[in-house]
Structure 1
């Protein structure tokens, strides 16, 4: 699965071979579903009657309840594409995952994305193998912003790998014409205060993934982390490594995924007995 993901990133999206790689990823997922740890197709229903399909990967051979993470793909990527990349990372980690497509849960009108993600959470809440007090959320690309908004709106989210509100924050700054690089120290204090006001709405531990293909700049994420450290807010920043190849720069998604899901597992299981 990792090799297929590397091939997908090396092939141009408009290249005919790109479709072949995606087809092989989906075929591999179907094969994986025949193994001991099955991949299940989940029908997600929401309160606005908008149903869609997702993938659920339960923890194999576990007695009792397991933590779970809602994973939202990057814009333009299917749930199968994200699942194909994450399978080698999540297997054996002791957490279940529910993988959904950005296109299925994003919306043009405010509030619907939260309704659709609430449907994902409701699906997990009724499963007999999920610990309902240990549900996290993870979003890639623009979905990192969706993950933030949902974690703010639903206090049942126990950990969030998201953008920490920085995407909406950046758009707000642009809309009012503020300059973030200012020599005025009082201006920096105002910016820090406003950043903290946003992050305090998140009542769970937060991991912000910045740089690379992510929507959050590393510099802004580091500023936010410094503010949160001073305010004793549980926020960490992860910056993916970039690998240089003859075909160009590729984000080292293997180490990045290991870091993200290692953090999620730690936050979702730290108060549980082994």
Structure 2
């Protein structure tokens, strides 16, 4: 309701006032959570802390990029996660995933339930310059209760390597999930935010065990190549669209899993480019869908309704992963390798 009425609200008060107001709302929910926790009402405490995390995310979205208050709000998110842990039915884990050359990748893991559940799982990659804890804090209210586990990693921990190494690191994440008894290896998806959407596309092509991908569908690579050709040739006129359509099609045909592309908003795929992808995939027999985050136009710019967008994304993942092979097939899927 708040985000849906931002157009009217910003006319009456400034961005900073709304940051303070939503930070205070988050603090109030934390207090309610603590009181319920002391009374032994763990379910009510968890609900309050989840509300606090959502309120802090609203404040974080409203704060100016260079405002030091942004770091304070991010710190509150991490504290809120720690408070929530004591009230969860299943333990939130901070894990270190062993990778090649004795390197390790730090991640958060939230299981869907008990060790015998054998549920689907999603590898979630934060946007650039965003800690994994920040993404986790935003997603916890969305994923809890959906019957899927999530493994959250930071973009910067992957992007510091060349692309092939990033794919190998993500394969290590998938290996880790596949070996867990509470995860169905045949139902593991990938979700990338911002530039991580491009990483998710390349990984879905690299490792054929990926069962569903929320990614850019190769759009970023297509736009980047197009810009490079224009820069090298010095021609400002449009490059042959047929050639770039064929290039997009080659990549789309390598994606052997359902794909969801988030267009517009804070993502890297424009709506126009996403529509071109959708048109190309019709002839490629690729299961590709588009979702466009609702945006509110205000006097301080557009603000994305992340609540509605996240619900749409994980609703899609839930449908795609829950309709994949049953768990018995997942045990067989452990032997499948990557390209």
SS at match of 1:112: helix
Shift of 1:220: 0.7
Does structure 2 retain, via aligned residues, the 8 Å contact 1:32–1:38?
no
Higher deviation after alignment, 230-239 or 58-67: 58-67
In structure 1, what is the equivalent of residue 73 of structure 2?
21
Aligned residues: 271
**In structure 2, distance between residues paired with 1:141 and 1:151:** 16
**Which residue in the other structure is 1:33 paired with?**
85
Q: Deviations over 1:130-152 (max 9, x none)?
A: 00010000000110011111111
SS in 1 for 2:102: coil
C-alpha distance in structure 2 between counterparts of 1:123 and 1:53, whole Å: 12
- Normalising by structure 1, report the TM-score: 0.92
CA RMSD after TM alignment: 2.1
Q: Which residue of 1 aligns with 2:123?
A: 70
1:3 aligns with 2:62: no
Please name the residue that 2:243 is paired with. Answer: 190
Aligned to 2:39: none
2:133 aligns to what?
80
Structure 1: gaps spanning 5 or more residues: none
Q: Deviations over 1:132-186 (max 9, x none)?
A: 010000000110011111111000001000011111111111112288985x9xx
Q: 1:161 aligns with which of 214, 224, 227?
A: 214
| Equivalent of 2:191 in 138, 142, 150 | 138
In 1: Cα distance, 2:109 partner to 2:161 partner: 26
Gaps of at least 5 residues in structure 2 are 1-52, 328-339
How much has 1:245 moved relative to structure 2? Answer: 4.0
> For the Cα contact (< 8 Å) 1:240–1:253, is it kept in 2?
yes
Structure 1 contact 145–163 (Cα < 8 Å) conserved: yes
| Residue 103 (structure 1) aligned to one of 142, 149, 156 | 156
Give deviations 1:104-125, integer Å, cap 9, x for gaps.
1113424111121112112111
Q: CA deviation at 1:191?
A: 2.8
Mark the CA change 1:230 to 1:246 in structure 2 (over 3 Å): closer, same or farther. Answer: same
* Structure whose residues are more often helix by fraction: 2
> For residue 172 of structure 1, what is the aligned residue in structure 2?
225
Q: Which residue of 2 aligns with 1:259?
A: 312
Larger Rg: 2
Query: What whole-Å deviation, never above 9, does each CA across 1:15-63 have from its counterpart, x for those lacking one?
Result: 2221211111001111121121321111111113221321111113585
Distance 2:243 2:97 in 1: 42
TM-score (norm 2): 0.75
2:281 is aligned, of 195, 212, 228, to: 228
Q: Is the 8 A contact 1:135 1:159 kept in 2?
A: yes
Preserved contact between residue 32 and residue 39 of structure 1 (Cα < 8 Å): no
Sort the Cα spacing of 1:44 and 1:63 in 2 relative to 1 into closer, same or farther, 3 A: closer
3-state SS of 1:98 partner: strand
